[in-house]
């Protein structure tokens, strides 16, 4: 009977594992249209209970099911989507924008959907300030300049309202950061991440330097979710979920048969 009980527990662990896997896939599908979203994939690990109780020459350990070992993020580049706003920016290559909330907390994002608020601050749609290469919020003079231009190195130039000429010096330079282990970042929602204990943040630098990507203005990065791949994964995980369910029902039938024999 112990073997039948173990089979049931193995089936339950499989149900839990593939239920989590289906949740990961459904989250990817739900974010197929989310700006700069990075898809996630699950890794499984086996569980082991103890040595076989039988007397034999084998040293293998008896399996006890599976569990989700890790959820990894695919940091591959998403498609570039053209827009009509200069403040929409995409990173072509490695790096993250740094934004700061009103409480002074820094977050990291690939979502370059920014705009200039009434105070001249370059912010995202949560109102978080975009930081320059020196770690300071970027503020632009709306009285002196009627428009702005961002080059590939993240330098922001102003178009003077009085003359229509472009400023000779950059008004600000956007800062980007990289991480030794991006999978160490903590996902907090709203297209934002915060630094984790194992992420290994590098110092902010100008786009196009130190291996960082360049800036594309009038552009946003799309989601890197591959819907066809996710739908295939959904079918596979659903089939595995059903198979583990069948293990439980089969073990239950065998247990009922054994009980009836005793009767």
Residue 201: strand pairing partners: 179
Q: What is the dihedral of CA 48, 53, 54, 60, to 10 degrees?
A: 20
Q: DSSP 3-state assignment of 231?
A: helix
pLDDT band at 261 (very low <50, low <70, confident <90, very high): confident
Average pLDDT in the chain: 91
139: which 2 tokens?
């503020």
CA angle 44, 73, 10 (to 5 degrees): 15
In the chain, domain spans: 2-75+225-262, 80-221
* 242, pLDDT greater than 60: yes
pLDDT at res. 1: 45
d(Cα 60, Cα 52) in Å, to the nearest integer? 7
pLDDT at res. 10: 87
Comparing 95 with 65, the larger pLDDT belongs to 95
Catalogue the long-range contacts made by 181-190 (C-beta closer than 8 Å, 24 or more residues apart): 182/73, 182/75, 183/72, 183/73, 185/73, 185/108, 187/73, 188/107, 190/126
Of 147, 193, 152, nearest to 173 by C-alpha is: 152
* 3, pLDDT greater than 70: no
d(Cα 131, Cα 26) in Å, to the nearest integer? 33
The rounded percent of the chain whose pLDDT value lies above 90 is: 80
Over residues 165-170, the mean pLDDT reads 95
Length of the chain: 263
- The DSSP output letter for 184 is G
136: which 2 tokens?
């300071």
Of 177, 147, 181, 149, nearest to 163 by C-alpha is: 147
pLDDT at res. 248: 85
pLDDT at res. 65: 86
d(Cα 135, Cα 131) in Å, to the nearest integer? 5
d(Cα 123, Cα 140) in Å, to the nearest integer? 11
Over residues 56-61, the mean pLDDT reads 55
């Amino acid at each position: 009977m112990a073997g039948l009980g173990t089979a049931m527990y193995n089936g339950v662990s499989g149900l839990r594992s593939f239920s989590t896997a289906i949740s990961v896939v459904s989250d990817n599908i739900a974010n197929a249209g989310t700006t700069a979203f990075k898809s996630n994939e699950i890794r499984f690990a086996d569980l082991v209970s103890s040595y076989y109780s039988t007397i034999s020459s084998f040293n293998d350990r008896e399996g006890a099911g599976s569990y989700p070992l890790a959820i990894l993020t695919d940091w591959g580049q998403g498609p570039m989507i053209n827009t009509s706003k200069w403040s929409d920016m995409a990173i072509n290559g490695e790096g993250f924008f740094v934004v700061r909330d009103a409480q002074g907390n820094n977050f990291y994002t690939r979502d370059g959907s920014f705009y200039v608020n009434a105070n001249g601050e370059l912010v995202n749609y949560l109102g978080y300030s975009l930081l320059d290469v020196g770690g300071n919020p970027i503020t632009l003079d709306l009285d002196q300049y009627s428009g702005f231009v961002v080059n590939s190195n993240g330098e922001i130039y102003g178009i003077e309202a009085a003359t229509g000429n472009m400023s000779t010096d950059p008004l600000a330079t956007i800062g980007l950061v990289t991480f030794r282990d991006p999978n160490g970042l903590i996902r907090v929602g709203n297209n934002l991440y915060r630094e984790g204990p194992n992420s290994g943040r590098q110092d902010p630098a100008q786009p196009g330097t130190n291996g960082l990507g360049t800036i594309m203005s009038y552009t946003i990065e799309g989601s890197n979710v591959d819907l066809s791949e996710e739908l295939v994964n959904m079918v596979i995980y659903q089939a595995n979920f059903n198979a583990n369910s069948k293990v439980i029902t089969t073990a239950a039938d065998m247990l009922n048969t054994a009980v009836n024999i005793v009767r």
